[in-house]
Each structure stands twice: as C-alpha cells, then as structure tokens.
Amino acid sequence: MAEYSDRKDRTITTRWQITGDLAKFILTQDLSHLDDWGGKEAVREVLPEHYQKIFDLVQTDLINCLLEEKNRKTAMGFAECMGRWGDWFHSQLDQGKKVVYHYFVHTIEPMLALDLAPICLEVLSGLTAALYTDGCEEGIDAMHAEGYPDHLCSSNMGGAGFLLKGYVPKPDAFLKGTTPCDPSNRVYEYLARKFNAPLIVVETPYYMNERALKFLTTEMKRMIGKLEKIAGKKLDEDKLREYIKLSNETGEYILKIQELRKLVPCPDTGWHRPADTIFTAQMGTPFSRDYFKGLYEIVKERADKGQGVIPEGKKEVRLAWGYTWECFDLPFFNWLENKYGAIYTEDCLTLFPADYAMIDTTNMETMIEGLAQRMMQVPMARQAMSWSDTWVNDFVDVARAYKVDALAIGGHMACKHFWALNKLLTDKVKEKTGVPALRFEMDMMDKRFTSPSELKRIMDDFFATF
Amino acid sequence: MTAIEELKKLPSREKNPYIKEWKADGRKIVGFTCHYAPKEIINAAGIFPYRLEARGTKETGLADVYYHRFNCTYSRCILQEGLSGGYDFLDGVCFLNGCEQIRRMYEVWKEAVPTTDYQYMVTVPHSIYDEGFEWYKEEIFRFKEDLMSNFSVRLNNSDLQSSIGVYNESKHLLKELYELRKADNPPISGTEAMKLVFAADIMPREKYNTLLKKSLKQIRSRDGIKDYKARIMVGGSPLDDTQLIEIIESLGGIVVTDTLCGGSRNFQEFVEVEQDGDPLAAIARCYYYSNPCPRMLGHFESRLQYTEKIAKEANVDGIILQRVVFCDNHAVDNTMLADELEPKGIPVLNLEREHMLTDVGRVRTRIEAFIERISRR
C-alpha cells in the first residue's frame, strides 16, 4: 500500500494520488459497471478501507464511464500518470522545493530545471471539479466569502479558495502571464498580496509576429531571472535542455493524436479531453510524456483498425468545441458519443498549432526563444490574447480538416472577451464553412451554474433540430 | 449662457454643438476608448479626440446581438451607441486593450459599424516597467504614423509640443478645480464639478480650456456649500455621467474628489518634454507611468497609496467604490481596497451598479445607509 500524507496542506494532491490508485484498482477488476456488483454502495464494501473515503467522493457516473471498454485503457493511463504526478509533487515538497503557482499558459521547463515545484492553479480547480461530486465548489465559495464576485473565473477561484482553506501548500511565488483575461490577473494579484508572495508577471503581447516574439523572448529572460532568485540558483542549460526534450517529445505525441482525430471514424474518445490539460500543463515531465504516448498508442491502434468510438449502427456526428468545455461532468462527452454518436474532434483549449511542438535545443538562446514561441501558441491564449482572426481562422481550419458537422460553443461565464466575440466567431465560421454552431452558457468548473442535467437538455434540444 | 452653464449643459454625441461646428469645417473627429489613448497626438494632427461615452443610453438591444449579458453594460452601452448611429459623426476610433470587454469592441465595431472608416488598436502592457514602456511608446509611434497616413496630415514635434501645452493647461485648470473642492465648504457640488470634468473629453480642448478658466473664476467667487452630512470620494469603474453623484448628493453627501480614470487620474501628471527631448516619448511616459489603473498587474500597492492620498487630501469621510456589474478589474480591486482601507479607519461602500442605473431604489438605499454611517451631523 502506498504511503499517503495526512497533512492538511496536501489535502487536494493526496486525494488525487489516492484517486489514481483507486482507479487503477477498480480498472483491474472484472467490472464493466458498478451495478455489476450491486451498485456503488456494494462496491464500496469490497474495497480496501483506505480507498473507501475517496471512493465516496468520486463521481459515480465517472466511474461507470471509465469502466466502459472503450475508455478503460485511457483511464488506466490517466490514473497512472495522475498518481505519478502526485508522488513527484509530494517528493518535491519533502525535499523543501519552493512552490510556484502558475497560470496555465506557462510552460514549466524552466521551473523544473531550477528545481522548483510548479503547480498550475487552474488544474487544481479543473481536476478536482472533474473527479469529485463536490467538485471545486468549496474553493470557489471560499473566495466568494472573501467578497469576490461570482463573475470571476472559477478556474482561478477554485484553486485560490483551496489556498485560502490551506488545502494546498503555501506559495513561494506566483507566475502569471498577463493575457488572455482580466479576472485571472486580478485573482493572482489578490493571492500574491494575501500570501505575501512575489508575483512574477510575464507580459504577453497582443500580436503574433516577430516584434511580439522578440518582446516575449525578453520577457522569458526576465521571468527566468526572477525565478532564479526564488530558487536561489542559476538556470542550468543542460537541465533545461533535458526537460525541453521531454516536452518536445510530448508535443509530438499531441500533434500526432490531433492528426488521428481527423480520421473518419474518429478513433479518440471524448471523456478525457478536458482532463488532458493536467498533463499539457505538465509538459516537460516524464509522466506528461508517458500519458500522451500511451494515449497516442491507444488512438493509433484504433485508427489502424478503422475503429471509431461510437456505438455500432450510429452515424458519427463530428463536433468541435469552439471554445471551452465543462470539467465537472466528463461522462457528458461519453454520453454524447453513446446517445448521439457525437464525437469530440477538437476544442479551443487543447488545439495545438502544427508549429507548436519543437523547440530548438541548440543553446540557451534558442531554447528561450522556443519557450516564448510556445507561450504565444499555447491553446486558448493563442486564440484569446490576440485579434479575432486567429480564433476564427483556427476554427475554420478545424471545421474543414476534421470534417466537422457542428460547433458546440460552451461559453464560460467569466470569459468576457469570448462573449464579446461569440457572434462574430460563429457567424464567420458558418460563412466560410457552412458549419452551424450551438452557443450556450456554462461555467467550466462550477456545476451550479449550468447543471449536468441542463447541459444534456441543451444537447437534446440541439440534436432534435440538428 | 455663462461658461459654467455651457459646460454643464453640454450634450453628448450628435446633439453636441461642437461636433457640428467642427465637422462643418470639414475637420475630422476620432473617438477613443480608454485613458491610455494619446489624445495629444490626435489633437496635434488637427483632429478632435472624443472619448466614447454612453451618457443617457437607455437600452442595449442592438449591442446584445454581438455582446452578451455577461459583458458589462458600460461596454454594451457604448457599442449600442455605435450600432444605433450615435457615433456616425466619427471618422475613426482609436481602440485600446484597456479591459477585455472594451478591447474586443474593436472587432465588432470594424464589422458592424460601417460608418467609421478608420479603426486602430493601441495595445498597452499590463504591467509597468521599462520594457513595457518601450512597447507602449512604439505602439503610439505606430499609431501616430498610421493616423498621419490615413488622414493625410503632417505632424511634427512642434505640433506635438503645442498640443501637449493645450492638454497640460487643461490639467492645471482641472487641478485647480479639484483644489477648490477640497475646501471645508466647497464652492461647487460634486455633480456640477463632474459635469465640468466630463466635458473635457467631448469638446475641442482649446475651447474647453477657455470655458473652464472662466468657470473657475465664477466658482471662486461663490459661497461654499455648508449643508452636507458627509464628504465623499468616488472610485471604481468609469463614469461618464453624474447620475450616481446626483443620488449621493441628494442624500446629503458631497462628492469632493475621485479616483476615476475620467476624473482625478486624468491630470495627476503633466507631459514634461525635456529640452530637445522627444515629445512622443514624453506623452508615452506620462500615460504609462502615472495612471494607477486596476488593469495593471502587480501594482495594487500604488493604487492603494494613490487612493489613500487623494482621500486624505480631500479630507473625506468615506469612499464609494462603485463598479459596473461584470467589471472584473474593479470587482477585485474595489474589494481589495476596501479590505485595506476599512481597518485604517476609512469607511468604504463597495457598490455594484449598472451603467444606466436601472435599479435606483437599491442604489439609493445603500448610499443612504452608508451616509448615515459616516455622517458628520
């Protein structure tokens, strides 16, 4: 049995570790649905005691979704790597490494090379929302209790609230790229002041051109200088190269998977897509590489056999998520596959441009410029930080390359920049490709805003008219 | 009509007589959306810079086709005016990425407001430091070049110097106005004062300076206002009309100062061009380094200090930090400010509102309760 910490400030990360191990345990049982063994309560009774408490917290529908044959292997890979991440993070803490909470747009290789312990604030919210019945609402509510309104972004607020509650380690620093949004900037500013921790700001310019790249490269150098102060050491070129090689490798797998999703039938399942961001935020680590390598092998095997992921006899409906998805109900995407044959081609938050992956590791200069290039291209930031043309063109390309039948655009309530663009985006994609769009309101992390059952009702209505 | 009356009663947009007068001469008007717009440059090009506002806008039906209920009503009201023809008099708009909601208006305006021939986006970094300054300086240089090219105008350093002089004069006059408001018995109400302040950005500056100078003379000769319960400072989201201030003053408060971007933040620093220096760099320096806007990340301390300084100088009894619903920047900043100021003995009302103040009853009740709490008598 693994050793689990009972420290309060490791509440969330320990929960993830146990959940990973629990998932691996369940996935190795002869079980295709909890009802096979008499339902969740009955299964609980046969579980080892140390799993029972966490088992109670995990969403029942999620367990049943992962037990489906088509999802099992991916789920196993996910659970394995999630557990490894937890082990690694705790070992970093045990060694006294300094904790840097960072925004999702940052690549973490410089922090890894500086022996820091990076953790993405938004992943704290997202993964917790994805796994547990109570989601990250306790964190969100803790921020509301401090007086911060509900129109801020729950992806920042959940993690921020966990910090307030003391469920995650105290920060030694915060790292924040300035775009794409005001709510995140403000929450990081609040947290840095609240915890009296340095806030390292990386200015991400509005444009995607040579001038912007040059500026951002200088920003990366400035950032590294500040991180070096936190770490108390200089950035070692060889160590940075080692981590970038890992992230390059990871990027290659991501791009290969993207290519496979263009196939008809689509060989990849949808349930894991929002949760993949835990590993895109960890690019540079072996478990991120291993997760996407494993995923690639699963998807490739299916593609080689010409297999899809929808029930036999159903016609495949190819959906692209033109902006965000919800994290709190991953089985929703499985439900779409099973009920409507609707598969998940791409989305704005995990769509990597073709030139994303490779960073030239020749020397420090090429690596830093490559990191800047990546930061400009990181999904969502790429679309949201700049002119609308980038976003529109990306989804015109997606609509064509993935042979998309419809765009589903879940508008995260806090993303004011998206809501200011929602009509133009959908109109232009329709005008250029003929692909219609469904736009609806939701909150990525907080299921109290648009509930799972309401999401399904929206989809039922959509498919009734589609 | 006296100068003060003329400024107070100056209508906005198409009813504004200066717009007709300006256009009648074939001259151009360029709108701008944010404090970081380099007005001196537009003015130096012989173009009238007009701050986009939505005073009196009652509904957002057209804007809601493009924007959404999660966007603030300030941005939606401005867009509504653009879509409904309220800004047909503009020859161009200088957009900025002041906040996420306003910056996206560039895209929609370009698409859906065909009467505006020229649109330009100036981007401002979200943090204050030297490399950021260089970026902003280059942005406004590019804007200047584009403006000259588009409107076929020549613009040299002497034009810029002269325009800087006009705007610096405004700042001196506005400073004087705010100084008068600091008196124990201010000779002008907050409502009147803010009407004078708001007029600055919707009429030609030279004319404004003349009228404000005359107004100040009138104001200086007045008796002070004694009959008030509390001295109040207003901060938070942009205001473009005095409706909220009228409510505060109808309940016994007197608004004696503010930290608004269209108010006191407009004149804190002067554009200082060193001898043989670059006027454009001086403009950039002034806007970039001296505006404690909550969009700037990592600069809360300077905003807190600024708020305390302004409050102290005007001897306020309390601060009303208002914000338009869905304004993220001020939502967080106002709460952080309140958390820091209250323990220092500075009472704060954190007030949420819509741009067009549709729920006056609720707003009145909250302000009334606040004034009761801080009342001097």
CA-to-CA distance for B84 and B241, rounded, in angstroms? 20
CA B373 from centre of chain: 29
- Nearest 5 degrees, angle CA A266-CA A16-CA A153? 75
pLDDT at A282 over 60: yes
pLDDT value of position B358: 85
Tell which B residues from 180 to 239 touch A, by Cβ distance under 8 Å: none
Backbone angles phi, psi at A382, to 5 degrees: -55, -50
pLDDT value of position A129: 97
CA distance B62 to chain A (A): 12
Q: Are A203 and A219 in contact (CB under 8 A)?
A: yes
ipTM for the whole complex: 0.96
* Most B-contacting residue of A189, A195, A391 (CB-CB within 10 A), to test interface: A189
CB atoms within 10 A of CB A361: 18
Of B65, B97, B297, nearest to A185 by CB-CB distance is B297
CA-to-CA distance for B271 and B160, rounded, in angstroms? 11
pLDDT < 50: residue spans in chain B: none
DSSP code per residue over A181-220: -HHHHHHHHHHHHHTT--EEEE---S--SHHHHHHHHHHH
Of B100, B127, B131, nearest to A182 by CB-CB distance is B100
Which residues in chain B have their CB less than 8 angstroms from residue A214's CB? none
Where in B45-117 does DSSP place strands (E)? 48-51, 92-96
B103 touches chain A (CB under 8 A): yes
Omega within 30 of 0 (cis) for the link into A267: no
- Nearest 5 degrees, angle CA A242-CA A243-CA A244? 95
Is residue A143 within a helix (H) or strand (E), and if so which, with residue range?
A: helix A137-145
Relative to beta strand B29-32, strand A437-442 is unpaired
Q: In what order do the strands lie in the sheet with A173-177?
A: A117-120, A99-102, A173-177, A199-202
* Most B-contacting residue of A105, A155, A186, A409 (CB-CB within 10 A), to test interface: A186
Where in chain B does DSSP place strands (E)? 29-32, 48-51, 92-96, 118-122, 230-236, 253-258, 318-324, 348-353
The chain B residue lying nearest A391, using CA atoms, is B107
- The reply to whether residue B71 touches residue A420, judged by beta carbons under 8 angstroms, is yes
CA distance B92 to chain A (A): 19
Q: What's the mean pLDDT in A348-361?
A: 88
Of A148, A186, A420, nearest to B104 by CB-CB distance is A420
Q: Are A415 and A380 in contact (CB under 8 A)?
A: no
Which of B284, B285, B302 lies closest to B293 in space, CA to CA?
B302
- Nearest 5 degrees, angle CA B192-CA B194-CA B199? 105
Q: First-to-last CA distance in chain B?
A: 36
Relative to beta strand B118-122, strand A99-102 is unpaired
pLDDT value of position A92: 96
- The reply to whether residue A387 touches residue B70, judged by beta carbons under 8 angstroms, is no
Residue A385 binned pLDDT confidence (cut-offs 50, 70, 90):
confident
CB atoms within 10 A of CB B189: 20
Of B70, B75, B329, nearest to A186 by CB-CB distance is B329
- Nearest 5 degrees, angle CA B311-CA B176-CA B204? 115
Tell me the per-residue pLDDT of A199-258, one tens digit each, with 9 for 90 and over. Answer: 999 999 999 899 999 999 999 999 999 999 999 999 999 999 999 999 999 999 999 999
Residue B61, burial from CB neighbour count under 10 angstroms (0-12, 13-18, 19+): exposed
Strand partners, A132: A58
CB atoms within 10 A of CB B11: 13
Which residues in chain A have their CB less than 8 angstroms from residue B332's CB? 148, 152, 183, 186-187, 189-190
Of B72, B127, B331, nearest to A149 by CB-CB distance is B331
Q: What's the mean pLDDT in A396-411?
A: 96
- The reply to whether residue B125 touches residue A178, judged by beta carbons under 8 angstroms, is yes
pLDDT at A182 over 80: yes
Give percent of chain A above pLDDT 90.
92
pLDDT at A189 over 70: yes
pLDDT value of position A235: 98
Tell me the per-residue pLDDT of B253-283, one tens digit each, with 9 for 90 and over. Answer: 999 999 999 999 989 899 999 877 999 999 9
Which of A417, A375, A412 lies closest to B98 in space, CA to CA?
A417
Residue A357 binned pLDDT confidence (cut-offs 50, 70, 90):
low
Mean pLDDT of chain A: 95
Q: Are A435 and A407 in contact (CB under 8 A)?
A: yes
Q: What is the DSSP letter of A106?
A: -
Residue A111 binned pLDDT confidence (cut-offs 50, 70, 90):
very high
CA-to-CA distance for B47 and B92, rounded, in angstroms? 10
The residue among A1 and A326 whose pLDDT is bigger is A326
Tell which B residues from 104 to 163 touch A, by Cβ distance under 8 Å: 104-105, 107-108, 111, 121, 123, 125-127, 131-132, 135
CB atoms within 10 A of CB B366: 17
Residue A447, burial from CB neighbour count under 10 angstroms (0-12, 13-18, 19+): buried
Type of residue found at B308: E
* Most A-contacting residue of B107, B124, B141, B339 (CB-CB within 10 A), to test interface: B107
Q: Are A269 and A309 in contact (CB under 8 A)?
A: yes
Q: What is the DSSP letter of A316?
A: P
Tell me the per-residue pLDDT of A413-462, one tens digit each, with 9 for 90 and over. Answer: 999 999 999 999 999 999 999 999 999 999 999 999 999 999 999 999 99
- The reply to whether residue A182 touches residue B105, judged by beta carbons under 8 angstroms, is no
Which residues in chain B have their CB less than 8 angstroms from residue A186's CB? 294, 328-329, 331-333
- The reply to whether residue A148 touches residue B335, judged by beta carbons under 8 angstroms, is yes
CA distance B27 to chain A (A): 30
- The reply to whether residue A420 touches residue B295, judged by beta carbons under 8 angstroms, is no
- The reply to whether residue A151 touches residue B325, judged by beta carbons under 8 angstroms, is yes
CA distance A246 to chain B (A): 32
Which residues in chain A have their CB less than 8 angstroms from residue B71's CB? 416, 419-420
B100 touches chain A (CB under 8 A): yes
Which residues in chain B have their CB less than 8 angstroms from residue A149's CB? 331, 352
CA distance A114 to chain B (A): 23
Relative to beta strand A342-347, strand A317-321 is parallel
Omega within 30 of 0 (cis) for the link into A180: yes
pLDDT at A2 over 90: no
Q: How distant, in Å, are the alpha carbons of A248, A258, A260, A355 from that of A252?
A: 6, 10, 13, 10
Q: Are B231 and B314 in contact (CB under 8 A)?
A: yes
Q: Which two tokens stand for residue A117?
A: 């312990």
CA-to-CA distance for B72 and B77, rounded, in angstroms? 9
Q: How distant, in Å, are the alpha carbons of B74, B340, B353, B375 from that of B356?
A: 8, 29, 8, 27
CB atoms within 10 A of CB A172: 17
CB atoms within 10 A of CB B5: 12
CA distance A412 to chain B (A): 10
Q: Which two tokens stand for residue A95?
A: 């060694």
- The reply to whether residue A203 touches residue B300, judged by beta carbons under 8 angstroms, is no
Which residues in chain A have their CB less than 8 angstroms from residue B83's CB? none
pLDDT value of position B275: 78
Does the model's pTM come out above 0.80?
A: yes
Strand partners, A438: A408
- The reply to whether residue A416 touches residue B107, judged by beta carbons under 8 angstroms, is no
Query: Residues in chain A whose beta carbon is closer than 8 A to a beta carbon of chain B?
Result: 146-149, 151-152, 176, 178-183, 185-190, 192-193, 199, 201, 203, 205-207, 215, 218-219, 222, 387-388, 411, 413-414, 416-417, 419-424, 441
Which of A365, A373, A99 lies closest to A227 in space, CA to CA?
A99
Which residues in chain B have their CB less than 8 angstroms from residue A181's CB? 100, 328
Q: What is the DSSP letter of A276?
A: G
Of B101, B332, B339, nearest to A187 by CB-CB distance is B332
Q: What is the CA radius of gyration of chain A?
A: 21
Tell me the per-residue pLDDT of A11-61, one tens digit each, with 9 for 90 and over. Answer: 999 999 999 999 999 999 999 999 999 999 999 999 999 899 999 999 999
CA distance A411 to chain B (A): 10
- Name residues whose C-beta falls within 8 Å of residue B317's C-beta, 6 or more positions apart in sequence: B230, B231, B232, B347, B374, B375, B376
